[in-house]
Amino acid sequence: MRQLQQACLWETLTPHEAWSGPLEGEVQADVCIIGAGITGLSAALHLLEQGQTVCVLDAHDVGHGGSGRNVGLVNAGTWIKPDDVEATLGRRHGSRLNTLLGQAPAEVFAQIRRYGIGCQARNDGTLHMAHNAAGLADLRDREAQWRRRGAAVELLTGAACAEYCGTDRITGALLDRRAGTLDPMAYTRGLARAATGLGARIHPHSPVQALARAGHGWQVHSGQGAVSAQKVIIATGAYTEGEWTQLQRHYFRGYYLQVASVPLQGAAADAVLRHGQGSWDTRKVLSSIRRDAEGRLLLGSMGRADNKPDWFIRGWADRIQQHYFPALGKVEWHLHWTGCIDFTPDHLMRLFEPAPGLVAVTGYNGRGNTTGTLVGKALAQFLLSGDSQALPIPLSAMQAVRGAGLRSSLYETGFSLYHAGQCLRVIL
């Protein structure tokens, strides 16, 4: 049996590139971006195209955080239903956010084409799979809400559902033709490559230690260097580190584990998601399912794998695989990894402007590929124009999430117990 390794599949598939190295000395820029993920790099590209000078800092490497470690779904909309978005934000702002995030997959795929990014991109849609009658009712409601807004969604049942999903354990699946899949690390590093081609300075392994006003601009200090900039974007999400910002108080951290098999071949493997969609089910503690370009089966769920033994991870992955795809037989699991998600209580993001020329975002709630691409562009436009209408939602007051640490701990405990029940075949 192959050893189960703790490593992110997407990082192993994406060639490492040498950027500018850690920040040293004094650097001048129009805009300093903290966080070399999808949001920060999308913002960088749009600023550079408008003639701005940009310096990007990251405590680790390009794509190290959620941008490079996620499932790779290019989702339309938010985690919650569009009617709920409008109920929370109000009709005007909620409708605008639904429209913009409904169009966000098209923006991602346009960026990929524009900059020639090789990242296994497929605009073939996604499948939200009903695991029981309640899940099917939920999907019917989602279909009706999106169709009222003109979205290209379709609820598959019967033979069509079985053909698309590759399993008879699903009662229905909502096919969202706007969406798709990609290799998130390759997408993120492709954005970085495009940004450096336009003149951006990208400094990995440069954790920010201080952020302070300097005249009409800002000084961003990191190790042996500092960036003087007129404006700053904080785009670190769930991977925000250090005492220089209070941003960590405005979300609670969750975790997401993934397991990847060796490449699978044969008729049984070809039947799994045969039309190329990525998917996830309607369980409270969901399972995500997709395949990559080389035929690997990728399973994911809420919770951590990096603090659990190999037998637990294999047991969970075997349980999900054998339930949905028993025809595959015994699958050989190769890699596992864990990423972080910045959650908010209402599952909607927050945009902040703590001071003039300083903007920040949190709360993607696990939808960073599309949301980050959209928000990065919007933050760039806002800094250039000063017009808040460029933003997808209004700016929020800085209000901390109560009991963020406790929420995170309780969620993780619940997820671990649920997965233990799956391993023991008590629940599924």
Contacts of 140 (CB under 8 A, 6+ apart): 155, 172
The pLDDT, as a whole number, for residue 297 is 98
Whether residue 184 sits in one domain with residue 89: yes
Final residue of a structural domain among 140, 175, 210: 175
Answer yes or no: is pLDDT of 2 > 90: no
Same domain, 410 and 315: yes
Structural domain contains residue 9: no
Kindly state the DSSP code that residue 396 receives in the 8-state scheme: P
Mean of the pLDDT values across residues 30-39? 98
The highest-confidence range among 120-124, 241-245, 401-405, 417-421, by mean pLDDT, is: 120-124
The pair of three-digit structure tokens given for residue 59, joined into one six-digit string: 């405590």
Q: What is the CATH number of the domain that holds 63?
A: 3.50.50.60
Q: How confident is the model at residue 218 (pLDDT cuts 50, 70, 90)?
A: very high
Q: Say if 7 falls within a structural domain.
A: no
Q: Residue 344 has what pLDDT?
A: 95
Both 161 and 134 in one domain: the answer is yes
Evaluate whether 216 touches 328 at the Cβ level (below 8 Å).
no
**Domain-located, residue 234:** yes
- Mean pLDDT across 284-311: 96
* pLDDT at residue number 398: 84
Query: Does residue 226 sit in the same domain as residue 263?
Result: no
In a domain, 259, yes or no: yes
Quick check: 213 and 98 in contact, CB under 8 A?
A: no
The whole-number pLDDT of residue 289 equals 98
Q: Is 93 exposed, middle or buried (0-12, 13-18, 19+ CB in 10 A)?
A: middle
How many percent of the chain have pLDDT more than 70? 100
Q: How confident is the model at residue 88 (pLDDT cuts 50, 70, 90)?
A: very high
The CA-atom distances, in angstroms, between 66 and each of 2, 254, 308, 337 are: 27, 11, 20, 11
The parent domain of residue 336 ranges over 252-343+403-428
Q: How far apart are CA 418 and CA 424, in angstroms?
A: 10
Q: Say what the pLDDT of residue 16 is.
A: 81
Of 175, 210, 236, which closes a domain?
175
- C-alpha 136/C-alpha 30 separation (Å) is 50
Shared domain check, 48 and 115: yes
Check whether residue 234 and residue 338 sit in a common domain.
no
Which string of b and e fits 299-334 if b means at least 16 CB within 10 Å? Answer: bbbbbbbeebeeeebbbbbbbbbeebbeebeebebb
Same domain, 160 and 25: no
Residues 196 and 102 in one domain: yes
Residue 123 has pLDDT above 70, yes or no: yes
Would you state the torsion angle of the CA atoms of residues 105, 107, 109, 114, taken in this order, to the nearest 10 degrees?
180
Q: What pLDDT digit, counting tens, does each position of 194-207 carry?
A: 999 999 999 999 99
Interval 159-187: pLDDT, tens: 999 999 999 999 999 999 999 999 999 99
Closest CA to 172 of 186, 184, 158, 190: 158
The pLDDT of residue 3: 84
Q: Contact at 8 Å (CB) between 207 and 223?
A: yes
* The residue type at 246: Q
61, 121, 285 from 281: Cα distances, Å:
32, 22, 9
Using the Cα atoms of residue 291, residue 298, residue 75 and residue 378 in order, give the sign of their dihedral.
negative
The alpha carbon of residue 325 and the mean position of all alpha carbons in its chain are separated, in whole angstroms, by 26
CA-closest candidate to residue 76, choices 177, 157, 144, 149: 177
Domain with 291 in it: what CATH number? 3.30.9
Q: For residue range 315-362, what is the model confidence (pLDDT) as tens digits?
A: 999 999 999 999 999 999 999 999 999 999 999 999 999 999 999 999
Is 27 inside any structural domain? yes
pLDDT for 141: 98
Total number of domains in the chain = 3
Rounded to 5°, the CA angle 413-60-112 comes to: 95
Residues 66 and 184 in one domain: yes
Q: Say what the pLDDT of residue 1 is.
A: 61
The answer to whether residues 41 and 106 belong to one domain is yes
Asked if residue 3 belongs to a domain, the reply is no
Residues 35 and 169 in one domain: no
Out of 141, 159, 175, a domain closes at 175
Residue 85 pLDDT > 80:
yes
Asked if residue 271 is part of any domain, the answer here is yes
Residue 185 lies in a domain: yes
Pairing state of beta strands 201-203 and 180-181?
unpaired
- CA–CA gap between residue 26 and residue 382 (Å, rounded): 26
Nearest residue to 104 via CA among 389, 373, 376, 391 = 373
Considering the domain architecture, whether residues 367 and 335 belong to the same structural domain is answered as no
